[in-house]
Structure 1
């Protein structure tokens, strides 16, 4: 049985790339920097924010950026522009939980980027058993060791866990740790061919499809978690 469903945040649980592009350019404008192009943002999407920003804005003072980013982030969250979890995604989480699965988030975001999602009054509170981010993980994706803390805390075997994400880096981390992996294609940023070098247990076009995909995967014959991608069961 798949006991734990572990979920990426950006462009998996929430569609965020486009609004993050606007948010980060808003920050750059407030500190007197030129805006980045969408192409640069897309090419670095999926990297931890402060690792990506020197590529998005060469010569950027990261401390200044981080300080203003915190302010602008709160403005976007308060305005309902960022990290909106769609009702159908919440229902999918509830359906997974009803099937006896633990739900967790695992993201490369910093603790600052996750504060609002961890608030006691957030819609995710009570639905998740754990949240892993750059503040409580020693390693970040695509390093397979990003799952070390999760596996140690739960005592689960990797084969009892599934990770759903949107990027080849997500697949690389899950494959390396021995977890099952589902690729969520809802953002439209990735193509299936982008995952050819990785094992993918299922592709889904929208997040709620994960409920059926997990059930099908669980009922399918087990296969080794190495090698290239395979079609959806």
Structure 2
């Protein structure tokens, strides 16, 4: 049984590339750095932010960028310009939970970039078993070791988990760790051909399709319905929320 659905944030749970392009250029303008082109942003989309910025804006002062970024990020979130989780996506999360699956986020974002998603009262509060990010992971995608902390904390086998992401780097990490992988194509940034080098268990055109796809992936070859076992029943270990570093 697929016991855990692990989900990327950017352009998977939320459509964010265009908003992040505007946000980052606003920060670059604040610190007097060269603006990036949309082509440069797309070419490096999916990389950890501070690794991508020198490619997006050559010569950028990363210390100055890091200092100015949080305030602009907060303003975008408060204005509803970034990280809006659509109602239908929340419904899909609830449907996955009703099927007995644990839900987790795994992203290359920093702790600063995810803290608003973990705040009390956020729509995701209470829906997630754990959140893994650059603050509590030793390795970042596309390194397959990005899943080390998740697998160790839950005691799950890789094939009991499916990762839902939008980039070839997501596929590479999931493949290397032995997880099943579902490619979300909703943003339109990627094409199916971009994943040709990787094993993709399914493509979805919109995130809510993940509910049906995950059920289909675990269906036995003979077409009989899989037995449903609630999370925590016979799992090798208990689900424990990921903790951020102090």
> Same fold, TM exceeding 0.5?
yes
Verify: 1:178 aligned to 2:181, yes or no. no
Taking the TM superposition and a 5 Å limit, the aligned residue runs for 1:22-101 are 22-101=22-101
d(CA) in 2 for partners of 1:58, 1:193: 29
Structure 2 Cα separation of the partners of residues 207 and 220 of structure 1: 24
SS in 1 for 2:163: strand
Instruction: Name the CA distance, whole Å, in 1 between partners of 2:2 and 2:8.
Output: 17
Q: 1:161 corresponds to which residue?
A: 161
* CA-CA distance at 1:149 after TM superposition: 0.2
**Superposed displacement of residue 34, structure 1:** 2.3
Q: Per the alignment, in what secondary structure is the counterpart of residue 64 of structure 2?
A: helix
1:119 aligns with 2:110: no
User: Which ranges in structure 1 are unaligned for 5 or more consecutive residues?
Assistant: 223-233
**DSSP 3-state at the match of 2:148:** helix
The count of aligned residue pairs is 222
CA–CA distance in structure 2, aligned partners of residues 220 and 66 of structure 1: 49
Cα separation, partners in 2 of 1:141 and 1:57, compared to 1, 3 Å? same
Hey, what's the Cα distance between the residues in 2 that align with 1:79 and 1:105? 23
Confirm or deny that 1:210 pairs with 2:195. no
TM-score using structure 2 length: 0.89
Q: Which runs of 4+ in 1 moved over 6 A?
A: none
> Within 1, Cα distance between the matches of 2:157 and 2:33?
47
State the Cα RMSD in Å. 1.0
Question: In the TM superposition, what is the alpha-carbon distance from 1:142 to its structure 2 partner?
Answer: 0.3
Higher relative contact order structure (alpha carbons within 8 Å, sequence separation ≥ 6): 2
Q: Does 1:15 align with 2:15?
A: yes
CA–CA separation in structure 2 for the residues paired with 1:218 and 1:120: 34
